[in-house]
Amino acid sequence: MMKLYIGRNAGRTVCLTLPASYEEVDKALREIGDARPEAPILIQEAQTSVPYLGERLKGLSYENQENRQELDFLARRIGYLTQTEQDVFSAALRMEEPGTLGEIINLSYNLDQYELIPHGTEQ
């Protein structure tokens, strides 16, 4: 599950939980309105079970149909990851700093290339 807060910079912000149906997305976009159509609809904040992912998504466009589909796909993908895989994914996001949604999704499918080393020392 992923919660996105989308809106125009100084305008109304709407919460949308992904994955979402076409009707839910359409309703959210209508709620934002066209008060400032020149300002793009961006992800103002994102909450997800994968630490650091929200920071990577903040500021991305939500107007682009391709981005909406990739975000919905990513939300579904996260739903299938174990907690350990989510932790590895979070660490990989910090290390790799992917720049696009496509790169973030690809990274989620290459978690076997990373190993999470526990913190601390054992006595």
- Picking from 55, 37, 50, 123, the residue whose alpha carbon sits closest to that of residue 90 is 50
- CA–CA dist 69, 83 (Å, integer): 24
Three-point CA angle 11, 13, 15, nearest 5°: 170
- DSSP code string of 26-53: HHHHHHH-SSSTTSPPEEEEEEESSTTH
CA 111 from chain center: how many Å?
A: 17
pTM of the model: 0.87
- Check residue 121 and give its pLDDT: 46
Q: What is the pLDDT along the chain (123 residues), one digit of tens a residue?
A: 899 999 997 778 999 999 999 999 999 999 988 767 778 999 999 999 999 999 999 999 998 899 999 999 999 999 999 999 999 999 999 999 999 999 999 999 999 999 877 764 444
- CA–CA dist 89, 94 (Å, integer): 9
- Check residue 117 and give its pLDDT: 79
